Structure 1
Amino acid sequence: MKEVVLPELAEGVNEATVSFWHIEEGDVVKEGQDLVEMATDKAVFNVPSPAAGVLIEALVHEGDVVKVGEILAKIKIGE
């Protein structure tokens, strides 16, 4: 199991808002594939998959405000 977390952002930016998911639970993903688009007051960016596998659980939803280091999703590796 691999957790997808919100990475460190620009200096002074501690949180981001979930814009939308590029994939759905149960979808097969490749390492580096964009999973979710996030937005701050300064930028919009995608969070990539840290591993190949299956997205088994999205823990945040569109419109949620997420802090740096918070878990966004869980991926079952090796599918």
Structure 2
Amino acid sequence: MSEQRGDENERCSWCGVDREPLLVGAWEIRQQLGLSRQRIQQLADLPDFPAPYQHLEMGRVWRAAEVRTWIREWRSAG
């Protein structure tokens, strides 16, 4: 499933770049949800949160599409 959009001028709602990101870290998730770093880490530790794609020195990164799906489900449940 490709995350890139066909519209060349479309900007990412999370970070303002020209394309939606394929991977996101805690900072991008914070931007989307407006929550603290600590709260994002708590959410990321929930069993239903997507598994990280990779663990990097700077922290975990996730597939953006999986996180967007989780956010939609989390918001609709809350």
Comparing both structures, which one devotes a greater share of its residues to helix? 2
> What TM-score does the superposition give when structure 1 sets the normalisation length?
0.30
After TM superposition, the score normalised by the length of structure 2 is 0.30
Structure exhibiting the larger radius of gyration computed from Cα positions:
2
Higher relative contact order (CA 8 A, sep 6+): 1
